[in-house]
Amino acid sequence: MASRSVPLLRASPAGVAGFSLIELLVVMGVLGVLFGIAVGFLGRTDPQQVGESILRGELRAAQLTARAEGLPTEVLVVPGRDGDSATVQSRLLQPVVVFHCEPDERVLDEQLRGLYGGEDEPFGRFGHARRPKAGNQAPLVRWPVPQPLVDLGEGFALRLDLRLDERQGGVVARLGAGLELLLDGDGRPHARLRFSGGDAGGATLVALRSALQLPLQRWLTLELGCDGQSAWLAMDGRELDRAAAEGRPQLPPDSVFDVAPGDAAVPAVVDEVRLYSYALAPAQTLPNVLQPDRSYRLRFDARGEPLGNHAVRLLMPEGRP
């Protein structure tokens, strides 16, 4: 068997500015057109070059997404079985819903509209925000999760912009019985997540806890996420805690997503709330004469930097042109 190793893409320095979602979509669209043209030519010449082009295209898409969103991504390379072609598939982030807290907020689908409680704060981080109101037990944001429209089973990331007024315990966000993001009495964030289907089987509870207090009277971005391998808690891009978390996040039917629920709301002003999910992009097939020597999981960190020095070996039977 002849083989060739395809090196993992090298990322640019971490200081490069990120991309907006629109810029990312434009770049990926252009790459897709160029990739299609290239494959058309390469398909008549060298299967090895076609395979390498497919792999590099998926790696580039995953790297761009990681840089744009500041969250890890990966590419899966899976050998074919029983004569089937091998596949290359990106595992990327996609936005699920964003709550801007604006009084006249428009949505593309009414199922993505949040219900706002508390009181309006006109001078938030990006515009209007919401703050708890005495005697009002409604969450600052409530969203009945429309299933099966929303699938967080492959992993998710939750980001909230908030400004803490005083250090007091409470619930920052809650999603059914599967997710709780909280603050303790000293203003330190911690979280509880429930997973099912890991290596141990059954349900598992993963706890995250920060030793760092949130600052008072300063806007910050609090993040909670999991990607099928681990769960993490972060503030302004700085990781506060991480723990192993295999399996699928538990999201029972008819779950409701609440931000600062009235029964235990944190004393904070909340601005944008963003929820992302991990999803597998359509699989790209390698030329049938090529097979990787094994399965690969090529991961990028939140800056788009490769995790590990991997190379993919694509094998082709000897004697083929």
Structure tokens at 65: 């997404």
Structure-token match 């409701």, residue found: 256
Residues 59 and 102 in one domain: no
Structure tokens at 78: 């899976």
Evaluate whether residue 269 is within a structural domain: yes
pLDDT at 306: 92
Evaluate whether residue 321 is within a structural domain: no
**Domain CATH number, residue 221:** 2.60.120.200
Tens-level pLDDT at each residue, the chain (321 residues): 455 555 444 434 444 445 565 666 566 666 665 655 555 554 456 888 888 899 999 999 899 988 988 888 999 999 998 889 999 999 888 889 999 999 888 888 888 899 999 999 999 999 999 999 887 789 999 999 887 778 888 889 999 999 999 998 999 999 988 899 999 999 999 999 998 875 555 678 999 999 999 999 999 999 999 988 899 999 998 999 999 988 888 877 788 999 998 778 899 999 999 999 988 888 999 998 889 999 999 999 888 999 887 789 988 766 444
Residues 260 and 191 in one domain: yes
Cut 0.75: pTM above it: yes
Q: What angle do CA 233, 236, 238 make, to 5 degrees?
A: 55
The C-alpha atoms of residue 122 and residue 140 are separated, in whole angstroms, by: 14
Structural domains of the chain, count: 2
Beta-sheet pairing, 268-280 with 87-99: antiparallel
Yes or no: say if 78 and 314 are a contact pair by the CB < 8 Å rule. Answer: no
pLDDT at 32: 61
Q: What angle do CA 86, 299, 156 make, to 5 degrees?
A: 105
The C-alpha atoms of residue 225 and residue 68 are separated, in whole angstroms, by: 16
pLDDT at 4: 56
- The C-alpha R_g of the chain, in whole angstroms, comes to 22
Domain that holds residue 290: 2-86+286-316
Evaluate whether residue 309 is within a structural domain: yes
Residues 170 and 247 in one domain: yes
The C-alpha atoms of residue 195 and residue 22 are separated, in whole angstroms, by: 33
Residue 46, burial from CB neighbour count under 10 angstroms (0-12, 13-18, 19+): middle
Residues 275 and 214 in one domain: yes
pLDDT at 295: 94
